[in-house]
Structure 1
Amino acid sequence: MTDTLSDRLLDAALMHVAFDGWTETTFNAAVADAEVDPVVARGLFPRGAVDLAIAYHKQGDAEMLRKINAADLSEMRFRDKVIFAVRARIEAAEDREAVRRGTTLFALPLYAGDGAKLIWGTADAIWTALGDTSDDINWYTKRATLSAVYSSTVLYWLGDDSLGNDATWEFLDRRIEDVMRFEKVKAGVRENRLLSTVLAGPMAVLSRVSAPRRADDLPGGVGH
């Protein structure tokens, strides 16, 4: 029942977001349109439209994971798997104006933390779905890098009027290629005897950083 009410409210809200953004006006209109008790609606979404916007983002993550799990990625290069996942996530956001309004909302200082957490969550969902097993500093760097790729691609997509969003997919491909080059540089540093010696101290410290053991364990620990 709760999921049904939540979905009804979110669907109703999307009819108003293009005009009023993720605001209290939209929340109140959604409550009225969905014929949900205002007290119940506030219990489901305590911060009103802000929590609706968060639910909309998480709904997109869920749809992305469904597409990833349904696809046969076994023959793909890893870079292409990442591209597939990011593209699936963007395509899951069918309402471009809702995403645009959400980007504006989460750019506000009051909600910037929520926005950063959502983007990080998307990157984490992608890496986890693709089988990432890193348990050290790489756990963080992978997600930080993909968060940057995803967020920049979304911003590009919001202004893309090319046929089939071809310009966005080309932009995504370039960003992933940049990441691949960065990974090659990291590998080169590790293999370079001189640089490895110079960076031995910092690398020793970083090697003690571990991935979080629980969902609420961010940003991780040292010496677990």
Structure 2
Amino acid sequence: MENNGLNPAAVQESLLEAALAHVPFDGWSEASFQAAAQDAGVDLPLARVICPRGAVDLAAAYHRRGDAEMRLRLAQQDLSALRFRDRVALAVRLRLEVADRELVRRGAALSALPQNAATGSKLIWGTADAIWTALGDTSDDLNWYSKRTTLAAVYSATVLYWLGDTSEGDAATWEFLDRRIDNVMQVEKMKAQVRNNSLLRTVLAGPIWLAGKVRAPGAQAEDLPGQTKAEGPAA
């Protein structure tokens, strides 16, 4: 492939498209990566420059593509008549509907390896963040973290259930998802009760004050840890 005016994103997209035919058979593996480079007409050394971790980078690109497709589909929905919990459920459902079950199964196996655990966690967090952002979340305090942490757990559990679901139209998965979101709503009700109870607010004054100091990362933050109000942007 000609290197002049090289577009790394376009090369990675070509590699990803070529890999999709091999992953169901060979997983997100070195064999799939080499076959993708050959099919896409990309010199293997160049492919390794674009994707230093090989198939791991392609698996991550496939996951992020799914997040982008979910956002596009969600933007086309009329959400005005839906309760907020139903909007979240719809977003998770759309995210799974744009995914290929076997490719996700292979990706789950890849993420289960110790050396890829951090990457897998970051991708799941990115999905939760994409959903909340698409739904218009404006929180910038501890709620920014709690919403994404909770949704990441719900999404992860739902994906695992979906991978083994053989019901028609994945009906069992959507019922499972509704139950998990109902569980989350119960937790939110408990949090509201704490906020409205003067005695509990007094007892928990210290933790509540500390929690109020936590801020969401800036728009350009690459990592997930937050900062207190006094700290300002990370260097």
Report the TM-score, using the length of structure 1 for normalisation: 0.96
Matches within 5 A, 1:19-168: 19-93=25-99, 95-168=100-173
CA distance in 2 between counterparts of 1:209 and 1:145 reads 17
Q: Structure 1 stretches (4+) deviating beyond 6 angstroms? A: none
CA distance in 2 between counterparts of 1:100 and 1:217 reads 26
CA distance in 2 between counterparts of 1:4 and 1:200 reads 52
1:215 Cα deviation from its structure 2 partner: 2.3
**Range moving further from structure 2, 121-130 or 34-43:** 34-43
1:5 Cα deviation from its structure 2 partner: 2.8
CA distance in 1 between counterparts of 2:225 and 2:212 reads 15
1:69 Cα deviation from its structure 2 partner: 1.1
**Are residues 30 and 217 of structure 1, via their aligned partners in 2, closer, same or farther at CA, if it must alter by over 3 Å?**
closer
Residue deviations 1:33-84 (CA, integer Å, cap 9, x gap):
1221222212221111000000000010010001011111122110111011
CA distance in 2 between counterparts of 1:11 and 1:172 reads 30
What one-letter code is carried by the residue in structure 2 that aligns with 1:212? P
CA distance in 1 between counterparts of 2:178 and 2:224 reads 30
CA distance in 1 between counterparts of 2:122 and 2:8 reads 24
**Range moving further from structure 2, 213-222 or 95-104:** 213-222
CA distance in 1 between counterparts of 2:75 and 2:180 reads 24
CA distance in 2 between counterparts of 1:210 and 1:3 reads 32
Residue deviations 1:112-150 (CA, integer Å, cap 9, x gap):
000000000000011011010111100000000000000
Q: Report the equivalent of 2:229.
A: 223
Report the TM-score, using the length of structure 2 for normalisation: 0.92
* Long gaps (5+) in structure 1: none
Give me the CA root mean square deviation: 1.2
| Pairing partner for 1:10 from 3, 9, 16 | 16
* Long gaps (5+) in structure 2: 1-6, 231-235
1:217 Cα deviation from its structure 2 partner: 5.3
User: Alignment identity in percent?
Assistant: 63
CA distance in 1 between counterparts of 2:224 and 2:53 reads 24
CA distance in 2 between counterparts of 1:173 and 1:215 reads 32
